[in-house]
Amino acid sequence: MIRKDIIEKLPYAKPFLFVDEILELDDNHIVGSYTFLKDEYFYEGHFKDNPITPGVILTECMAQIGMACFGIHLLRDAWDQEQWSVAMTSSEVNFYKPVFPGEKVIVKAEKVYFRFNKLKCNVVMYNTKEVIVAKGVVAGIAFQNKDES
């Protein structure tokens, strides 16, 4: 599967897609990036006159790259967006630096385990100066959609 194809298979769309590019990928790790545009919807009102990216959005970006994209890769040919969904089951993230409008982040995730369609990863988010912005653990599960017939 081509890296761009993985992003297209994500169950997200703008304004809730936080993956621009997958930079590295194998069965043990993934590296991806996202640039937080200056006009993202969540900046309005989040710290009046000095907007920063909310921690929940940083966590979502980490999960979309480190869990959802990675999980689609690990499922490979079994993944079909019409038949499968993905959900975050847990996260524990610490934040170290703010991310401002216009900043690019790099997310690196290493697999802890992948079994029974559940993926757990250690995830680190860096800014372009290679300073750690956030670090933690995310886990999620891929599940087949309910057949309504």
Q: Does residue 39 sit within a domain?
A: yes
Q: Does residue 62 sit within a domain?
A: yes
- Which strands, in side-by-side order, build the sheet including 29-35? 21-25, 29-35, 104-115, 118-127, 132-144, 84-95
Domain count, the chain: 1
Q: Does residue 149 sit within a domain?
A: no
Per-residue pLDDT 10s for the chain (149 aa) are 588 889 988 888 999 999 999 999 999 999 999 999 999 999 988 888 899 999 999 999 999 999 999 998 998 777 666 677 788 889 999 999 999 999 999 999 999 999 998 999 999 999 999 999 999 999 999 887 776 54
Q: Does residue 20 sit within a domain?
A: yes
Q: Residue 46 in contact with residue 103, Cβ under 8 Å?
A: no
Phi, psi (deg, nearest 5) at residue 59: -60, -45
> Out of 12, 29, 42, 46, which one is annotated catalytic?
46
Residue 46: active-site member: yes
Q: Does residue 82 sit within a domain?
A: yes
Predicted model pTM = 0.92
* Domain extent at residue 32: 3-144
Question: Which residue is listed with tokens 């969904």?
Answer: 85
In this prediction, residue 80 carries a pLDDT of 65
CATH number of the domain where residue 89 is located: 3.10.129.10
